[in-house]
Structure 1
Amino acid sequence: MISDEQDNDSIESEYEALLSFMYLSPVGLVRTDPYGKIDMLNPMATQLLMPLVKSLGLENLFETLASVAPELRNLVTSFRESCGSICVNHRVHVSSAADGGIVLSCTIVKVNDEVLITVLTDVSCQVATERRLRQTDSWLDAIYTIVNDFAVLGLTKQGVINSWSPSAERLTGYTESEAIGGTLRRFCSFTDLDVDVLDEHLTFAREEGWYSRDYLCQHKSGYDFFAQAMIAVLREEDDEFSGYTAVFRDVTERKVSSDNLANLLTKDHLTGAVNRAHFFNLAEKEFARANRYQHSISIIMLDADHFKHVNDSWGHPIGDEVLKSIVKIAEGVLRAGDTIARFGGEEFVVMLPKINSVEALVIAERLRSSIETSSVDAGGEKIKITVSIGVASMNDSRSTLKQLLTSADSALYHAKSKGRNCVVDIDDF
């Protein structure tokens, strides 16, 4: 027979083995209650979360991740099963590619009504590899899937059309005589904000050997369609650059379906604003364009005033309506080429391409006043909304996204300290 003492020794041995596993595990392991309060975590979890730890310390997992993954708390609270996987390999973008590209994979398992286990893994290298593969796949897709609905044309070094195939006429409706001597703007639709974007794409192709993307196009008869394009560099026998070959194909049906998927991947599920990860992707492109063409970029950081009081007084559903209202109002104030993103919790960031500090202050004040005059219905009671805003614009000392975000955040802090519901420019103090 096995004695009680042997049973206790066995249990103690298993417990020590479990602790050893947690301590030596190559992934981050965190045990919390349903509200995110941490009661156990291993060294790897501490290492992965440390870049996000603020003054409050590493006490609550959801609060630690709120600035980069505010949706996790909602995922947990909306999970109604008694146990099971709440999310699996949910990606958390801790920093942009320009700042190191740290990405964590997050899996949350509900053990019971009192315990959650979260597994964190650094997948930064995997994400970077996937990004490179997507670029390669885009090129291969443009080669292997061109069957019938395609167009081939040639461009000079300056991007002027110098050859035009019958397939190009079928796709666009323009004859060779109408197309030769023009540019891709003949049938590719660009906004006023994208006046330099075609030159930028040709530059990318020249530097990398090829460039691929989708364009909104307009047939000569007037209807719109989406075309996938691959622009490849032409070289002479002596490797001298001589122009480009462009291949277009109609992908309208696929584009509609992929846009629906893109919205799921790039938009904040609650407000419809751009999510944090996609904001960094867009910002990288805008800053590359700004540096190439010496354009300005301004950043607005805004925070809903007294948002905790709203949640505490009227409940989280009304708080959600406040956040959605802020985004809706902002979209009515901003231009088509501007971007508003939910940065975390009740904080939003707005990117204004080709806008200097004077213009940014005008837009920020218009945004603040528009929100101030609005309200949200809370069961018959009107809740007034205000926001605090910080503004920063590019200059010689603020030329990177990180510097602009830091400056705008500092200006936002001063706006709050001045009493909230105001706009502060980083250059004013």
Structure 2
Amino acid sequence: MTERSSEEQLLEFLYACPVGLLECDMAGEIGMMNPHAMQHLLPLAGPRDAGNLFSALEQHAPELRSIAAAFAPATGRVCDGHRIFVELGCARRTTPRKVLACTMVKLAPDRLMVTLTDISQQVVQEQRLRQADTWFATLLNGINDYAALTVRPDGEVITGDSGFTRQTGYDLAAVIGQKLGDVLKTDTTGGDLRLDEQLVVAERDGWHLQEGWQQRANGERYWCQRLVVARSRDDETGPIGFSVILRDVPRREAAAEDLRRVLTRDHLTGAANRRHFSHAMEREQTRWRDLRHSLSLIMLDLDHFKAINDTYGHPVGDIMLRRVAEACAPLLPPRGVFARLGGEEFAALLPRYDGEQAIGLAEDLRAAIAAIEVETAGTILTLTASFGCATLDEADGSIDALIALADKRLYAAKRGGRNQVFQPQAAAA
């Protein structure tokens, strides 16, 4: 076989390969890329360098650079099927969210082979299976105790069984006629719905299931799965009431919590990752539609951050990014989500925060970032950031419009001098 025929066969394989395939060095500079890889990569690069893998994916998978850099062996599999969630969401999604699976293999000390595969449909099927698994798990998993009640459409308790008193410590006879949501103390700081909110969702979907901390009459907390099922007759347009099942179940194991952190956290900073933020936005958008409570978004972008990477290197830039997450995440309310969306761009999702509250928190975040100091090579480095805030009401319920509005205001803050929070009232004056 001649050298030319070998090259021709290689090119034929690259063009026929049904997945994206590319070769790059450890810095991400691409030496070879097949058409499928181009189809995936070029639309995601935007204004960034499409000839560098890490730069092209910086806004969608910023963790890839640090994952590759952290892999010490001279050869081996760096990551396998690492998921890249391309879109944050939209108000009326008719097609599945695009998700790419990235596998990186280190062939030599400075040579990576990378595959990119579209697994969007697979992810949709996995989500449906997880929903079914959650339903059956409530029937089959270990259980300490359960209670069953019937409530009116407004949440007033009609009937119940002895398990209610045994599980909660409340006298069932004294609870009859009261609103169940007024009796049970549920910890909503983690994002759980109140009972009245759960009834709204169950009326729409037929049922709603959630688990979280609940409080007994003596103040003791326990882990409770609460299933609310709408009850109706064929001739009724709305529910005639709801069945409520309370299950005292063992707390999820630490291993499951560790897995959850791995799946929801940014590899470098520990902030929520893009995938988790996308899911949180869609969940809160649904609650906004059902319950119309306030929902705000803060977008922030570090000022002149590229100069830090170019001057002092990415390791120093990574330290700065970690310090930003460490400074900002503790300032959010319990239900808030602080996430790294890509590169030097972060966001905060704030359920039950109106626009004025979001701007106030953004000012606190701005001051916290401005106070960061990192010493390197005898120099003290500091940071500033620009902020844009928006509410879902302003965006007419559209996630895409919410992101676009907050982003527009962020860049207005940059044009206004940076290191500031855009003030809609001042701009309108």
- Summarize the alignment of residues 3-402 of structure 1 with structure 2, pairs less than 5 Å apart: 7-8=1-2, 11-56=3-48, 58-98=50-90, 100-145=96-141, 149-180=145-176, 181-191=178-188, 197-236=194-233, 241-254=239-252, 256-378=254-376, 382-396=380-394, 399-402=397-400
- Flag the 1:14–1:186 CA change in 2: closer, same or farther, 3 A: farther
Which one-letter code corresponds to 1:121 in the other structure?
Answer: T
> Which stretch of structure 1 is more off in the superposition, 347-356 or 191-200?
191-200
Secondary structure, in 3 states, of the residue corresponding to 1:21?
A: helix
Measured after TM superposition, the shift of residue 257 of structure 1 is: 4.3
Contiguous gaps of at least 5 residues in structure 2 = none
CA distance in structure 2 between the aligned counterparts of 1:410 and 1:118, rounded to whole angstroms: 34
CA RMSD of aligned residues (A): 2.7
Contact 2:296/2:358 (8 A) holds in 1? yes
Q: Name the CA distance, whole Å, in 1 between partners of 2:271 and 2:306.
A: 21
Summarize the Cα distance change of 1:315–1:256 in structure 2 as closer, same or farther, 3 Å threshold: same
Cα separation, 2, equivalents of 1:37 and 1:381: 30
**What is the TM-score normalised by the length of structure 2?**
0.89
- After superposition, give the CA deviation of every residue in 1:237-286 in whole Å (9 maximum; x if it has no partner): 65773222222222343255433321221122332221111111111121
For residues 390 and 278 of structure 2, the distance between their equivalents in structure 1, rounded to whole angstroms, comes to 17
* Residue aligned with 2:186, SS: coil
Q: Flag the 1:223–1:380 CA change in 2: closer, same or farther, 3 A.
A: farther
Alignment gaps of 5+ in structure 1: 1-6
Q: Distance between the aligned counterparts of 1:381 and 1:167, measured in 2? A: 65
Would you say the 8 A contact 2:143–2:247 is kept in 1?
A: no
Identity of counterpart residues, as a percentage? 36
The 3-state SS of whatever aligns with 1:271 is: coil
Deviation at 1:34, TM superposition (A): 1.4
Closer, same or farther: CA 30–197 of 1 in aligned 2, 3 Å:
farther
What is the rounded CA distance, in whole Å, between the counterparts of 2:143 and 2:222 in structure 1?
18
Larger RCO, structure (CA 8 Å, separation 6 or more) = 2
> How far apart are the structure 2 equivalents of 1:143 and 1:400?
36
User: 2:108 aligns to what SS in structure 1?
Assistant: coil
Q: C-alpha distance in 2, partners of 1:195/1:75?
A: 33
CA distance in 2, matches of 1:70, 1:294: 34
Contact 2:84–2:101, Cα closer than 8 Å, also in 1: yes
Which of 198-207 and 273-282 deviates more?
Answer: 198-207
Q: Could you tell me how far apart the structure 2 residues matched to 1:397 and 1:229 are?
A: 33
Deviation at 1:227, TM superposition (A): 1.3
Cα distance, 1:314 vs. partner? Answer: 4.7
- TM-score between the two structures when normalised by the length of structure 1: 0.89
Question: How far did 1:397 drift?
Answer: 5.1
Q: Alpha-carbon deviation of 1:354?
A: 3.2
CA-to-partner distance for each residue in 1:307-331, whole Å, 9 max, x for gaps? 2343455554443332233223323
Distance 1:50 1:225 in 2: 50
Checking the alignment, whether the CA contact within 8 Å between 2:189 and 2:335 is kept in structure 1 is: no
**Superposition deviation, residue 200 in structure 1:** 2.9
**Total equivalences in the alignment:** 421
Q: Is the 8 A contact 1:303 1:387 kept in 2?
A: yes
Cα deviation for residue 212 of structure 1 reads: 1.4
**Which residue identity lines up with residue 257 of structure 2 in the other structure?**
D
Partner of 1:3: none
- Taking the aligned partners of 2:374 and 2:250, their CA distance within structure 1 comes to 39
Separation in 2, partners of 1:218, 1:364: 33
Deviation of the 1:55 alpha carbon? 2.2
Opposite residue 355 of structure 1, the aligned amino acid is Y
1:226 maps to amino acid: W
Q: Structure 1 residues 396, 302: closer, same or farther in 2, change over 3 A?
A: closer
CA contact (8 A) 1:300 1:350 kept: yes
Query: What per-residue deviation string (whole Å, max 9, x for no partner) do you get for residues 124-173 of structure 1?
Result: 11111111111111111112236553222222222222222222222222
The separation in 1 between residues aligned to 2:78 and 2:421, in whole angstroms, is: 40
Per the alignment, do residues 110 and 335 of structure 1 end up closer, same or farther by CA in structure 2, a change over 3 Å counting? same
- Aligned residue for 2:251, secondary structure, equals helix
Shift in alpha-carbon separation, 1:426–1:65, aligned structure 2, 3 A: farther
